[in-house]
Amino acid sequence: MEVDQVVPLPRLPRVAVCGGTHGNELSGVYLVRELLKLQREVMKKEQEEDLKPASVLLVLSNPRAMQQCRRYVDTDLNRCFTHATLNGPLSDMAPYEIIRSRELNALLGPKGSPAAVDLVCDLHNTTANMGLCFIAYSDCDWICLHIFRHLQVSNTASYFSEIFSYSLDSVGKHGFAMEIGPQPHGVVRSNIYTAMKVGVQHMLDWVRLFNSGFVDVFTMVKHIDYPRDSETRNITAAIHPCLQDRDFCLLHPEDPLFQTFSGETVRYKGTEPLYPFFINECAYYEKGIALSLARKRRVTIPAIRVTTVLSPCSPKSVTT
């Protein structure tokens, strides 16, 4: 499907990463467990520093099947997310996965509603030699396609879509399964686990970039030379130890700048905090530059697209 205009899309503040939908596909199980551990450590640090907590929801989808190291207990959980299954009558003898699908729908959905999470990434393994593969229920979900392309830059990856939206990843506003193989069920291979871990990290990096819509840019303000002898022009001080190796760390007025060879501290006398860079660069001694100072500002990134001419009389463009 070809699009010749920029498509505006809302941010993705709520992202879910799910593992163990099939209980014997262990890369996702171990990865989500590891991410949960890291998330607890990060959230503890954020709470201590009064920062906004992480917004990624990590889910172990099928705990009973994971415990038994089986694909499923009663029925395939990843076929239980049709509207009929999620909203139909529920008997006392309902299979475990039918009950679990409704719990997951309440957590991540409800499916098709504005309250659903913005993106679901469901982690799977295959015994087939498919490498890193994206499976989505739409071939025109621009979010999933852009994430796929972002991963494709550094990975050999494939993408295909299904016509049926019965899987867990269909509960979110956007969603896909990340399928990686070959890996036998019931075991975990280090290279496959690592490939999945890298893929998930790239996906989350893309979401953060997409949500931000801007980049931090440092604009050079001035250079500062070393203190020098007025007659010989030899330097009389070195970069202060408190400043050395702190490129792009904010330098405030009266912060230590140089330490003279006689042991005195020379302080920064600027009128505003600035960001130093190229601190003590060897090649800049001859240029009379001890460090450079810059202001930081955030630049909003507009959408861009590559213009391609399909024929001399019919120019078209595709989004990037």
Q: Which of 2, 34, 179, 254 is catalytic?
A: 179
Angle between helix axes 26-48 and 190-212 (nearest 10 degrees) is 50
> Rounded to whole angstroms, how far apart are CA atoms 141 and 174?
7
- Return the closest-CA partner of residue 179 out of 162, 202, 195, 201: 195
Q: Is 231 a catalytic residue?
A: no
252 is in an annotated binding site: no
DSSP string, the chain: ----S---------EEEEE-SSTT-HHHHHHHHHHHHHHHHHHHHHHHTT-PPP-EEEEE--HHHHHHTSS-SSS-GGG--SHHHHHS---TT--HHHHHHHHHHHHH--TTSTTS-SEEEEEEE-SS--EEEEEES-S--HHHHHHHHHHHHHS-EEEEE-S---SGGGGSSEEEEEEEES--TT---HHHHHHHHHHHHHHHHHHHHHHH-EEEEEEEEEEEPPPB-TTT--B-EEE-TTTTT-TTS-B-TTSEEEEETTS-EEE---SS-BEEESTT-GGGTTTT-SEEEEEEEEEEPPP-EEEEESSTT-EEEEE-
Cα–chain center distance at 83 = 30
> Rounded to whole angstroms, how far apart are CA atoms 162 and 146?
18
124 is in an annotated binding site: yes
Q: Binding site for Zn(2+): which residues?
A: 22, 25, 124
Active-site residues: which are they? 179
- In the annotated binding site, the residues are 22, 25, 124
